[in-house]
Structure formats: structure tokens, C-alpha cells
């Protein structure tokens, strides 16, 4: 496996379900990100982890709970979601968010539908 992988690619869940999204990066990067992408809207940054420590939480509702056990893996735990949470959830990684050129590498995303 190379780059950034995400599973599952598609997910349908009810509002009372609990599910988790998984992201894994094989690039040796130190920072990982969760983004939400809704149709015709800008990418919304949700969480940032740098060296396994959460450095950004952009006022995301508590029904989204991130977990970063190590620099290569990132999870997004979902609980009691709302239909408006239906979107494409993208994971990204980067080498060093502070220094120099900062290119983020994205996974293919998880297409989430909340019924």
C-alpha cells in the first residue's frame, strides 16, 4: 500500500448507529487531518493531529470523535449523526505543518450517508 488509504469507501448509517472511519498513511508523515467535503462547499477542516497530539479542533460537534493512536493511523468515530452530516470525509497527511512547503496528501475519502 502506498499513499493515504481510507476505509470504508462508502458508508450508510442510521442516526442511532455508531461507526468508525479509518485512515492510514504510508508516507512517514507527522501530521494527519480530517476534512468534511459537502457538495459545492469548501473543504472544512475538522481536526489536526501533529505527532499524535490534537492541535486543531474547528468547533466540531461532539458526535464526531477523533482518535490518533500513532502517526500513521487516524480514526473518526461517529455517533448519533444527523442527516446534514452526510458528506465526503477526507483524510490527509503532511510531513511538517509548520516548516516550509506544506503539501497535504489526501486519501480517496469515505462517502457517508446518514438516514
Partner 1 sequence: GQNIDQPTEMTATEGAIVQINCTYQTSGFNGLFWYQQHAGEAPTFLSYNVLDGLEEKGRFSSFLSRSKGYSYLLLKELQMKDSASYLCAVRQDSNYQLIWGAGTKLIIKP
Residue 23 cell numbers, joined: 485512515
- By CB under 8 A, which span of 17-25, 42-50, 61-69, 74-82 interacts with partner 1? 42-50
Which positions ≥6 away from 39 have C-beta within 8 Å?
none
Residue 91 cell numbers, joined: 483524510
Told to check if 56 binds partner 1 by CB under 8 A, we report yes
Residue pair 64/46 in contact (Cβ under 8 Å)? The answer is: yes
- By CB under 8 A, which span of 12-20, 36-44, 65-73, 78-86 interacts with partner 1? 36-44
By rule CB under 8 A, what string of x and - marks binding of each residue 62-101 to partner 1?
----------------------------x------xx--x
Amino acid at each position: 500500500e502506498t499513499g493515504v488509504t481510507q476505509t470504508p469507501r462508502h458508508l450508510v448509517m442510521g442516526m442511532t448507529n455508531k461507526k468508525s472511519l479509518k485512515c492510514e498513511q504510508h508516507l512517514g508523515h507527522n501530521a494527519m487531518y480530517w476534512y468534511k467535503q459537502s457538495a459545492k462547499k469548501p473543504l472544512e477542516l475538522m481536526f489536526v493531529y501533529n505527532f499524535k497530539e490534537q492541535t486543531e479542533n474547528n468547533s466540531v460537534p461532539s458526535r464526531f470523535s477523533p482518535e490518533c493512536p500513532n502517526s500513521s493511523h487516524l480514526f473518526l468515530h461517529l455517533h448519533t449523526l444527523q442527516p446534514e452530516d452526510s458528506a465526503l470525509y477526507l483524510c490527509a497527511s503532511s510531513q511538517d505543518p509548520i516548516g516550509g512547503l506544506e503539501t497535504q496528501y489526501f486519501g480517496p475519502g469515505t462517502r457517508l450517508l446518514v438516514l
